[in-house]
Amino acid sequence: MANGSRQAAWEFFGTELKRRREEAGFTQSDLGSRVFVSGGYIGQFEQAIRKPQLDVAQRIDEVLQTEGFFERLWRKLIKEQPYTEYFAHVAELERLATEICEYAPTVIPGLLQTREYARAVFLAGNPLATDEYIEELVEGRMDRTQLLKDATRPVYWAVLHETALRIPVGDADVMARQLDRIATLMRERAVLVQVLPFAAGAHPVMGKLTKLMKFEDAPPTAYTEGVFSGNLLDEPAVVKRVQASYDHIRAAALSPEASLAMIESAAEDYRRCASTT
């Protein structure tokens, strides 16, 4: 399903939600209190600005007695988008965010990846997949990277553990070009990137990919990812703790200038390796 068609389908979701809410005699605040979100969130669902999570769609069905209508529609729309189910809502939120902060312990974040690096990542995770399937995944990731090219792009701040620079994903040439891309974005002041060096030792979120997102008119969220699973967190107290952990990592990381020097040095190391093979 193309992006335009998918958006139109979510607009239908919102229109139906508004119609059935009003038929039930609920205000947005009434419905929000019953499904454990704010009335403002219900308004954003109805305008297709934000997409509800599955458990919210299920609670909406229960409250409005719609016999699973919104759950079935949610599942259909999520199935027909290019991301895994647990990440689909996060990809939508990235487009709405005014600020995105990430900590990447082992892999370059998707928003910074080159096509070749992304392909190597997907091949590693899907060794028996067809070329067509791998290319679909790569295209989905490349669509996400366009976010950093938009005139209205969010403030993007990433902390990369030095491990992410040193693990060779693809061959040496792929790694050199990947690190060159990050360096170029840094020099263009399109992104802020710091490196957390091996010497920093232990830190609050060791081994855990973490993403924090802030919005113009909605509370911040945090996202963490495991093996074939992800957790989108919006409980204010939990998000505040994640933010505090991220701030500790950022404080322990190298300065942007020193980080750029390390990234460029690692890229040169890979180039030398590529030239000798």
Q: pTM above the 0.85 mark?
A: no
Q: Which of 25, 47, 79 is the last residue of a domain?
A: 79
Q: Which of 79, 105, 131 is the last residue of a domain?
A: 79
* Residue 3 confidence (pLDDT): 52
Band of the pLDDT at 80, cuts 50, 70, 90? low
Secondary element (H or E) of residue 209: strand 209-214
Question: Is residue 85 one of the residues assigned to a domain?
Answer: no
| Number of domains observed in the structure of the chain | 2
Band of the pLDDT at 85, cuts 50, 70, 90? low
* Residue 75 confidence (pLDDT): 79
* Residue 256 confidence (pLDDT): 96
Question: Is residue 55 one of the residues assigned to a domain?
Answer: yes
* Residue 151 confidence (pLDDT): 77
Kindly state whether residues 129 and 230 are assigned to the same domain: yes
Kindly state whether residues 143 and 230 are assigned to the same domain: yes
* Residue 76 confidence (pLDDT): 78
Kindly state whether residues 162 and 32 are assigned to the same domain: no
What is the strand order of the sheet 99-104 is part of?
192-196, 155-161, 99-104, 209-214, 221-226, 229-233
Question: Is residue 263 one of the residues assigned to a domain?
Answer: yes
Question: Is residue 84 one of the residues assigned to a domain?
Answer: no
Kindly state whether residues 170 and 54 are assigned to the same domain: no
Mean pLDDT, the chain, integer:
90
Q: Which of 79, 109, 135 is the last residue of a domain?
A: 79
Residue range 218-271, pLDDT digits in tens:
889 999 988 778 888 988 999 999 999 999 999 999 999 999 999 999 999 999
Domain that holds residue 57: 3-79
The CATH number of the domain holding residue 73 is 1.10.260.40
Residue range 187-221, pLDDT digits in tens:
999 999 999 999 999 988 887 899 999 998 788 99
Question: Is residue 90 one of the residues assigned to a domain?
Answer: no
Residue 242 vs residues 19, 170, 183: alpha-carbon distances, Å:
37, 32, 27
Kindly state whether residues 165 and 231 are assigned to the same domain: yes
Secondary element (H or E) of residue 157: strand 155-161
Question: Is residue 255 one of the residues assigned to a domain?
Answer: yes
Mean pLDDT of 74-85: 70
Question: Is residue 88 one of the residues assigned to a domain?
Answer: no
Taking 60 as the threshold, does the pLDDT of residue 4 lie above it? no
* Residue 214 confidence (pLDDT): 94
Kindly state whether residues 178 and 61 are assigned to the same domain: no
Kindly state whether residues 266 and 134 are assigned to the same domain: yes
Could you tell me the sign of the dihedral formed by the alpha carbons of 230, 67, 25, 10, in that order?
positive
Residue 230 vs residues 80, 140, 170, 210, 211: alpha-carbon distances, Å:
19, 18, 25, 10, 11
Kindly state whether residues 71 and 104 are assigned to the same domain: no
Kindly state whether residues 72 and 12 are assigned to the same domain: yes
**What single string gives the DSSP state of each residue in 84-122?**
-HHHHHHHHHHHH-SEEEEEESSS--GGG--HHHHHHHH
Question: Is residue 218 one of the residues assigned to a domain?
Answer: yes
Residue range 15-45, pLDDT digits in tens:
999 999 999 999 999 999 999 988 988 998 9
Kindly state whether residues 12 and 57 are assigned to the same domain: yes
